[in-house]
Amino acid sequence: MIIETLKKIFGRELSKLKKEIELYKNEKAIWKIEKEIANSAGNLCLHLIGNLNTYIGAEIGKTNYIRNRPVEFSAKDIPRDELIEMIEDTVVVVEESLDKLTVEELKNEYPILVFENKTSTEYLLVHLATHLTYHLGQINYHRRLLG
């Protein structure tokens, strides 16, 4: 049950991420930063894609994804269409990876130390869902302020 719930939440929130990127009237505004706004919507989008492809795709789905976290925050001016394609690819990776997961595996210790202490896979997946929604809210606010 929790796996299906997580698939729905990740799918819903990634769909909202795609919509937020599409809603920018001026494509250049996706990459805009100003005053105390340190991260553009584009960089937050790349960060979310990297995060999900690392912790769900590479570890659970065995996709061989290699993360370059510094580039998530330093890349600029990637075309909107490319960002959208990356989001759509991430939707597939997350769904296919979660399809491989069993309820028993959720209780297992997540193999990578992400926080100070080890956690279960279930705990990490819930964290990733809340992390996604947190940054999605930032992107929504960014679009309304600077877009």
Domain that includes residue 74, residue range? 2-146
pTM for the predicted model, two decimal places: 0.96
Using 50, 70 and 90 to split pLDDT, how confident is the model at 82?
Answer: very high
State the burial class of residue 111 (Cβ atoms within 10 Å of its Cβ: 0-12, 13-18, 19+): exposed
Interval 115-139 mean pLDDT: 98
Q: What is the pLDDT of residue 68?
A: 98
In 3D space, the residue among 50, 30, 21, 9 whose CA is nearest the CA of residue 133 turns out to be: 9
Report whether pLDDT(140) > 90. Answer: yes
Q: Give, as one character, the DSSP assignment of residue 95.
A: H
Instruction: Return contacts of 78-82, CB within 8 angstroms, 24+ apart.
Output: 78/42, 78/46, 79/27, 80/21, 80/22, 80/24, 80/27, 80/30
Question: How high is the mean pLDDT of the chain?
Answer: 97
Residue 30 has pLDDT above 90, yes or no: yes
**Domains held by the chain: number:** 1
Instruction: Give the pLDDT band of residue 1 (cuts 50, 70, 90).
Output: confident
Mean pLDDT of 106-120: 96
How many C-beta neighbours within 10 Å does residue 107 have?
A: 11
- For residue 6, the model assigns a pLDDT of 98
CATH number at residue 136: 1.20.120.450
